[in-house]
Amino acid sequence: MIKKTILSLATILAITPFAFAEEQPGEVGLVLSYNPAQVGVGAKKISPLPYLAKEFENGWYAIVQKGIGKYVVNNDTTKVGIGGWVDMGRKAGDHTRFKDTTDVKLTPTLNINFERRMGAMNSVSGYLERSFTRHKGIKAELAFTRNLMANTNTMTFLRGDVFARYVDKNYAQAYYGISKSDADKAGGQYEDQEHTAAAGVDLIGVRLNVQKQFTDRFYLKGTATLGSVRGPAKASPISDKTTYTGVVLVFGTYF
């Protein structure tokens, strides 16, 4: 349960702090995630997880979706961070179609992330994450964000994202491929043969992010994602969905 929640947060960057909240010293709260185990899989579960986001004056940070790292660039318009994170993997039983695949094991990763503000309304952000062990795969995302509403009377803030995610061959094979040994275990179910996954864009979509500020300290954040399953995810016999949908809620406070 916790693994699925962390994976969903790391993959889609769903709860990046809003610009107006960045001057706060830190955030802590509870995450409720309703997401599939991986792109292309339709089955979802509700999963709770503690949330933490803390940026220190010396440039170090500890943020759920970025891991622990340090900003090498940190100014009014641009942030570039390098840190350590984890790819939490997934269980074979998370699939609804092909349950005999080998589990993708937890692996530490290198995470490089950036955000560039382009005026008061727009920004571009992204990340690149490479696993050190196990499949040694790479995934990367690029997103364009526009602030849609900032109502200071009701303390409600809204923004939208357009994003695309890329995975290399190693990552694609680990999550979307079927090895010969896995195919042999299938016993004639669901295309009892090997499947070699290729690198490519596996997900493109849009996100709607809302934040409601109840007091100076307490807030509710929500992110709804709608995506199109593409490339290696769509071509995989493991996949049973061509659309990706998910929701993340964060009940939190500044400290």
- Residue with more model confidence, 41 or 193: 41
Give the containing element (helix H, strand E) for 20. Answer: none
| CATH class of residue range 2-254 | mainly beta
Q: Could you give the dihedral angle defined by the CA atoms of residues 189, 195, 201 and 206, in that order, rounded to the nearest 10 degrees?
A: 10
- The band of 135, judged by pLDDT with boundaries at 50, 70 and 90, is confident
- Say what the pLDDT of residue 161 is: 96
b/e per residue 190-220 (b: at least 16 CB within 10 A): beeeebebebbebbbbebebbbebeeeeebe
Q: Between 242 and 24, whose confidence is greater? A: 242
Separation CA 174–CA 177 (nearest Å): 6
5: enclosing H helix or E strand: helix 2-12
The three-state secondary structure class of 199 is: coil
71-85 pLDDT, tens per residue? 999 999 999 999 998
Q: What angle do CA 81, 85, 91 make, to 5 degrees?
A: 145
